[in-house]
A and B are shown apart, each in its own frame.
Chain A
């Protein structure tokens, strides 16, 4: 505990810090396009498209072949393993397509949840085995950051001490290994929105979870300036009868972060967690407008909340590509404005943007 055995050289630290800064550069956020095969199945089913490798490739191509100016709003894209090795119609590998737009390539690394015996249905995350080798390979193949999602749930008896501590520990192990291989780890301790708990309860649990996460990162000698955080916003449970405004969500969320996230962390990229596209943008905007100090960037790492409209416009048909890209571009730009607290909601919003994207007990 008393002697340092430096985990990273100054050059390694600089490389990591630079990558992190690029991802969350002013007005930019992350497109989470890392849905697993199973999850893509759910998405495609909603628009009556078959879940084939080609269809998954085709939809990602719709997003990735957007005009280069998308790089004003998107600083990073998270890939699923399959997608990292797919190509666009001209044969260009997707990582190259993204990099050429000056956007950073990321890779989802976790291997899903595993049960914690003796708990009330709680889980930890697997994926640490051989992770060092995988990271080294992904770095060679174009990735500069990674994502790992831990999941916690609020009920009358959860999250338990064990679940909090075990998930914090695996997040820290993952982060440590990533940094050793030049990958910026996005640390994602998601507390699901399932339940009827109120805003205060979510805030309390989120504070406890984040305190544990940052203690674990410290214990594991993780270089905070070379990480990003991907937390849930502090919201009431989906079944909570009381309604809260974006300002309520903003104050609760930022207060929580001020109490737990060191200023050394360059950026906080919220998950959308089943919020509709519009909700996710309004809440992010309210956070960036709220009067509390914000020593880190507050931005987005949205999957559903960036893609829903695009998916609805695409419907699996190549002739809809332009319309789908326009829907995506619009959403990306709105969220870019929200990062700066400059989003002004216009009168109309289409059905897709307003639709709740909540799925109970969401797994990727």
Chain B
């Protein structure tokens, strides 16, 4: 505990910090396009489209064909493994298309949740085996950041101390391995919005979870300036009878972050967690106008909230592709405006 065995050289630190800064540069956020095959099934099902590899490719092509307008609002795109190696109709690799727009390429590296025995249905996240080699390969193949999602749930007896500690630890191990391979880790400790708990309860739990996450990152010698955080906003549970204004959500969220997230973290990129496109941008705007001092960038890492309109405009029809792309660009621009407060 007393002697440092530096995990990273000064050059490695600079590279990581530069990547992180580029992703959350003023006015920019992240497009989370890393839905797994299973998640894409749900999305495509909703618009009556078959879940084939080709359809998934066509759909991502719609997003990635966005013109240079998105350069100002999108700092990074998170890919799923399959998508990293797909190409556009003209043969251009998707990774190339994104990089050519000056946007940073990211990769989802976790392998989903597994149960924690002896708990009330809680989970940890797997994916550490061979992660070093996978990171090295993804870096070669164009990725400069990664994402790993842990999941916690609020109920009468959860999250338990074990779930908080185990998920924080696994996030820290993932972050450590990423940084060793020149990849900025996005740390995502999602507390699900399921339940009827109120805003205060969510704030309390979020503070406990984030404190544990940052202690684990410190214990694992993570270079904070070369990381990003992807948390839930502090909101009431979905079935909570009390309604809260965006300002209340903003105040609760920023307060929780101010109490737990060291200022050295360059950016906080919120997940949308089932909020509508509208809600997600209104809340993000309120967060950016909240009167408390906010030492990190506060931006978005949205999946559904950026893609819903594009998806329903497309409906799987080639003729709708351009209109769908336009929907996405418009959504991205609106989201970026929310950042200005």
B251 to chain A, nearest CB (A): 13
Chain A residues in the interface with B (C-beta under 8 A): 1-4, 154-161, 164, 200-201, 204-205, 207-208, 211-212, 214-215, 218-219, 224, 255, 258-264, 293, 295
Tell yes or no: B48 within 8 A of A by CB. Answer: no
Chain B residues in the interface with A (C-beta under 8 A): 1-4, 154-161, 164, 200-201, 204-205, 207-208, 211-212, 214-215, 218-219, 224-225, 255, 258-264, 293-295
Q: 28 interchain pairs (CB within 8 A)?
A: A1-B164, A2-B157, A2-B159, A2-B205, A3-B201, A4-B204, A155-B2, A156-B3, A157-B2, A159-B1, A161-B1, A201-B2, A201-B3, A201-B4, A204-B3, A204-B4, A208-B1, A208-B218, A211-B214, A218-B207, A218-B208, A258-B264, A259-B218, A261-B263, A262-B258, A262-B263, A263-B263, A295-B295
Closest to A162 in B: B1
Q: Are B218 and A211 in contact (CB under 8 A)?
A: yes
Q: How far is the CA of A157 from the CA of B2 in the complex (A)?
A: 7
Q: Which of A164, A208, A255, A263 has the most CB of B within 10 A?
A: A263
| With contact pairs A2-B154, A200-B4 given, residues A262 and B261 touching in the complex (Cβ less than 8 Å) | yes
Q: Are B161 and A1 in contact (CB under 8 A)?
A: yes
| With contact pairs A259-B262, A261-B262, A263-B295 given, residues A4 and B3 touching in the complex (Cβ less than 8 Å) | no
Q: How far is the CA of A295 from the CA of B261 in the complex (A)?
A: 12
Tell me which residues across on chain A come within 8 A of B3, comparing CB atoms. Answer: 156, 201, 204
A128 to chain B, nearest CB (A): 23
Closest to B160 in A: A1
Q: Are A295 and B263 in contact (CB under 8 A)?
A: yes
Tell me which residues across on chain A come within 8 A of B160, comparing CB atoms. Answer: 1-2
Closest to B153 in A: A2
Q: Are A211 and B215 in contact (CB under 8 A)?
A: yes
Q: Which of B158, B264, B293 has the most CB of A within 10 A?
A: B264
Q: How far is the CA of A157 from the CA of B1 in the complex (A)?
A: 8
Q: Are B156 and A2 in contact (CB under 8 A)?
A: yes
Q: How far is the CA of A164 from the CA of B1 in the complex (A)?
A: 9
Q: How far is the CA of A224 from the CA of B207 in the complex (A)?
A: 12
Partner of B218, one of A1, A155, A161, A260: A260
B262 to chain A, nearest CB (A): 5
| With contact pairs A255-B264, A263-B295, A264-B258 given, residues A215 and B2 touching in the complex (Cβ less than 8 Å) | no
A296 to chain B, nearest CB (A): 9
Q: Are A218 and B2 in contact (CB under 8 A)?
A: no
Q: How far is the CA of A16 from the CA of B3 in the complex (A)?
A: 37
Q: Are B263 and A214 in contact (CB under 8 A)?
A: no
Q: How far is the CA of A135 from the CA of B224 in the complex (A)?
A: 38
Q: How far is the CA of A71 from the CA of B100 in the complex (A)?
A: 59
Q: Are A264 and B157 in contact (CB under 8 A)?
A: no
| With contact pairs A218-B208, A263-B293, A264-B259 given, residues A2 and B2 touching in the complex (Cβ less than 8 Å) | no
Tell me which residues across on chain A come within 8 A of B224, comparing CB atoms. Answer: 259
